[in-house]
Structure 1
Amino acid sequence: MALYPFHGAWHGGAAVLAASQLALEQVNQRDDVLPGYRLNLLWNDTGCDPGLGLDLMFQHLYSPPTKIMIIGALCSIVSQATAQVSHRWNVVQLSPVSSSPALSNKSRFKMFLRTNSPDSDINPAKIEMFTQFGWSKIATIHQAFELFSVANDGLIGLMKKKGMTVVTSEIITTDPIIQVRNLQESGARIIVGSFYADMAVRVFCEAYKIGLYGPKIAWILVGWYSENWWNVSVPNTDCTIDQIKEAIDGYFAVDPIRVNPKPELTISGQTAHEIQKLFLQRINHEPLPALNSGLQGFDAIWTAALALNKTMTDLENNGSARLENFTYQDTEMGKLLFNNAMNTEFPGVRGWISFNKKGDLNSIYRIDRFQDHVNISYIGESHEGLQFSSCWHM
């Protein structure tokens, strides 16, 4: 079962599906992975809506054939809604993209893991950036979703430990006008913004109107927006695209590395860049929404395949049931598959794929600055004492 969004606040489902199907074809062509089996992906459009996502999941669970895993959801709010209950069917849920820190809570999301890392893991990179630039007074503004609030609270905690001052912390529920004006009135110059891309357009429209941008203002945003994310029509905004582009010029973004820049072979026998070329050819180089997140679907499918392959071998060695004997009442096979997924390691598109005890991907991060249509990137590990070892212009 795949729960992917093709419309809504974040709608990168088409890109992730294309990469997922590419990986499925490679897995099904291999004689050494799941011999005698063929993986099939039954996908639906969640619309990035938790209610719809739950409804689709229940429809799948109560309709044949039996689903042995869930790939998704992609939007964190849908993953949180579905992963709180999917374990009751003993189904392992694996998200390629979801980044909410809340999803690391194993008491709530018992059989959930992801080929992504939580946004809270990015916080040390932000703190190191503040330190290197000598920024000590920081303001935050975030959308009222757990995805953003948990990471924001963690950032504020780290800032206080480092002796930094929180100028103001604004929360957006519907319209960002008041919160953006509060930033200006507080004298904020370094601003960390956490919101979906459609809200980002509304925020920067208001920032443009009051002049809260330019060389004396630094905005730091999440890094998983689509390319040219500002070039969209968003309801309740009256700014032109050129005005939005002017307001965002110079912003920073922090994000995990998504394609391994080294010429190392992946589990498929190809380098990450070779797989990226195949992926782009598959979509005819179409600029799909959230294109930069698409290949995470490739690593997710390979994670699922290798976990199922190990489970198949374990079942055979134990002389017990086979994969096709799985039922939603089979707690033993469900736990075995989940443990095998958590212990899966392999060279993927993003680099070495492995998971921590929370089911989160161990990642390397990059900091980008978007200025005058030039993207400058810095790479570093995701831990305290972060050091950025290299940079290049793209």
Structure 2
Amino acid sequence: MGLDHINQRTDVLSEYELKMVWNDTQCNSALGGQAFIDHLFNNPHKLLLIGPACSSTAENVAEIAHHWNLITVSPSASSPGLSNRQRYPYFYRTITVFSALGTPIIGLMQEYGWQRIATVHQNQDVYILSIEYFSSLLKAANFTLVTSETIIEDPRASVEHIKQNDAKIVFLSMFEGLARKILCEAYKQGVVGTGYVWFVYGWYRDKWWTVTDDIECTVEEMTEMISSTNIFALNRLSLSTKEEVTIAGFTSKQLEFELRERMKWEENSGYTFQSDYVGFGYDAAWAVGLMLNKSVEVLKNKVFANGEKRRLEDFTYDDSEIGSLFADLLSETDFVGMSVSGKWPLFADLLC
């Protein structure tokens, strides 16, 4: 939809039409690498990459894409590790970096006068880095991290340590399945009730606590745990709630309505509406469209090292000068988008 809106404009890339050639990486790093190679060696020639969607795949692709002078813009890869500019110099994203999700907890602790908190995180880089950043926020705000637990499978020791340290507030940084195991074990050990506050991620599936095939609690027990305890779900807002007119000339709400209507088209029957990411995806399209539009104007007057001028269609994978120009202009791109971030550049990596 974003590309359609750009192509309909007479003031953005008026001499060009943006087209997307896509592959499904299935959130698989190996498939992502293969898809990237396929794009490189098959026509049409590419100017840049939008995606990959998943962090692990984005890390694999972005680490090598810059060697071909291709920038990578992901609407959903939120791993803090991707903020490493030495390793991923041409990686950009429209989604808030994963580690920023701990920031609202600091605000709530300040609001309610809470001083102590425990964390439990999954033993994967994305969660480890997020907790490291969260720990730095706690330290800066003079809060006490009473215990920081790493969990692989068995949650018993982690819950026991929470009890031993008399922690009443707990931040779980992990996949849905491990969160279920932790809360089930907490129920069995009596870490339940209005005296406790648990923070979990908000992108788990609906009624995720009722899936009991991987835990030793019944649906009734898990429902009691959830309903009798203070559970806060942390998530990003992909769709702005403001009535502000976006770069496309519509409000975010109007764009959402159009997208939902498009989802009814027969060609989209195999897809579902993902409200957690649609705004970030739409803004990614506009970010690269505006960057390319600005590039057209810059290229009209720019003389390159060989003494010649170039156009967009002259870009090749060994053209470091245009690749660098794309990266510089993307960093400067500023617009009102569909996502809650409002004006670009978002680059929430700066929070890390």
User: TM-score, structure 1 length as denominator?
Assistant: 0.77
In the alignment, residue 92 of structure 2 is paired with which amino acid? L
User: Secondary structure of the residue that 2:293 maps to in structure 1?
Assistant: helix
**Cα distance 1:45–1:260, how it changes in 2: closer, same or farther (>3 A)?**
same
**Cα distance 1:206–1:338, how it changes in 2: closer, same or farther (>3 A)?**
same
Partner Cα separation in structure 1 for residue 261 and residue 217 of structure 2? 35
Q: What per-residue deviation string (whole Å, max 9, x for no partner) do you get for residues 337-369 of structure 1?
A: 11111111111112533226xx4378xxxxxxx
Deviation at 1:245, TM superposition (A): 4.3
Aligned to 2:42: 63
Q: Which has the higher strand share?
A: 1
Partner Cα separation in structure 2 for residue 114 and residue 198 of structure 1? 27
User: Secondary structure of the residue that 1:267 maps to in structure 2?
Assistant: coil
Q: Where do 1:148-297 residues align within 5 Å?
A: 148-223=127-202, 225-226=203-204, 228=206, 230=208, 236-237=214-215, 239=217, 243-249=221-227, 250-284=230-264, 288=272, 290-297=274-281
Deviation at 1:217, TM superposition (A): 1.6
The answer to whether the 8 A contact 2:212-2:218 is kept is: no
**Cα distance 1:152–1:310, how it changes in 2: closer, same or farther (>3 A)?**
same
Aligned to 1:365: none
Aligned to 1:38: 17
How well do the aligned residues superpose, as a CA RMSD in angstroms? 2.8
User: Secondary structure of the residue that 2:336 maps to in structure 1?
Assistant: strand
Which is further off, 206-215 or 316-325?
206-215
**Structure 2 residue 293 is the aligned partner of structure 1 residue 309:** yes
The answer to whether the 8 A contact 2:117-2:170 is kept is: yes
Aligned to 1:360: 348
The answer to whether the 8 A contact 2:263-2:273 is kept is: no
Partner Cα separation in structure 2 for residue 323 and residue 247 of structure 1? 58
Aligned to 1:367: none
The answer to whether the 8 A contact 1:74-1:97 is kept is: yes
Which is further off, 230-239 or 81-90?
230-239
Deviation at 1:149, TM superposition (A): 1.2
Which is further off, 87-96 or 240-249?
240-249
The answer to whether the 8 A contact 1:95-1:115 is kept is: yes
The answer to whether the 8 A contact 2:13-2:292 is kept is: yes
User: Secondary structure of the residue that 1:43 maps to in structure 2?
Assistant: coil
The answer to whether the 8 A contact 1:197-1:229 is kept is: no
**Structure 2 residue 103 is the aligned partner of structure 1 residue 115:** no
Which is further off, 243-252 or 278-287?
278-287
Deviation at 1:139, TM superposition (A): 0.5
**Cα distance 1:117–1:165, how it changes in 2: closer, same or farther (>3 A)?**
same
Deviation at 1:190, TM superposition (A): 0.5
**Structure 2 residue 80 is the aligned partner of structure 1 residue 92:** no
The answer to whether the 8 A contact 1:227-1:292 is kept is: no
**Cα distance 1:199–1:45, how it changes in 2: closer, same or farther (>3 A)?**
farther
Aligned to 1:387: none
Deviation at 1:284, TM superposition (A): 4.1
Larger radius of gyration: 2
The answer to whether the 8 A contact 2:109-2:115 is kept is: yes
User: In structure 2, which of residues 42, 56, 60 is the aligned counterpart of residue 81 of structure 1?
Assistant: 60
Q: What per-residue deviation string (whole Å, max 9, x for no partner) do you get for residues 59-83 of structure 1?
A: 2223222221111122222222221
The answer to whether the 8 A contact 2:212-2:219 is kept is: no
**Cα distance 1:42–1:206, how it changes in 2: closer, same or farther (>3 A)?**
farther
Aligned to 2:327: 338
Deviation at 1:235, TM superposition (A): 6.2
**Cα distance 1:275–1:333, how it changes in 2: closer, same or farther (>3 A)?**
same
Aligned to 2:306: none
Partner Cα separation in structure 2 for residue 316 and residue 189 of structure 1? 62
Aligned to 1:349: 338
Partner Cα separation in structure 2 for residue 307 and residue 174 of structure 1? 45
In the alignment, residue 60 of structure 1 is paired with which amino acid? H
The answer to whether the 8 A contact 1:226-1:289 is kept is: no
The answer to whether the 8 A contact 2:236-2:276 is kept is: no
In the alignment, residue 27 of structure 2 is paired with which amino acid? C
The answer to whether the 8 A contact 1:198-1:234 is kept is: no
Q: What per-residue deviation string (whole Å, max 9, x for no partner) do you get for residues 181-209 of structure 1?
A: 44344433200111233433343344344
The answer to whether the 8 A contact 1:77-1:147 is kept is: no
**Cα distance 1:199–1:59, how it changes in 2: closer, same or farther (>3 A)?**
farther
User: Secondary structure of the residue that 1:166 maps to in structure 2?
Assistant: strand
Which is further off, 28-37 or 240-249?
240-249
In the alignment, residue 353 of structure 1 is paired with which amino acid? K
Deviation at 1:125, TM superposition (A): 2.9
User: In structure 2, which of residues 283, 298, 310 is the aligned counterpart of residue 321 of structure 1?
Assistant: 310
The answer to whether the 8 A contact 2:337-2:344 is kept is: no
The answer to whether the 8 A contact 1:218-1:251 is kept is: yes
Q: Where do 1:115-154 residues align within 5 Å?
A: 115-154=94-133
In the alignment, residue 98 of structure 2 is paired with which amino acid? D
Q: Which runs of 5+ in 2 are unaligned?
A: 304-308
User: TM-score, structure 2 length as denominator?
Assistant: 0.86
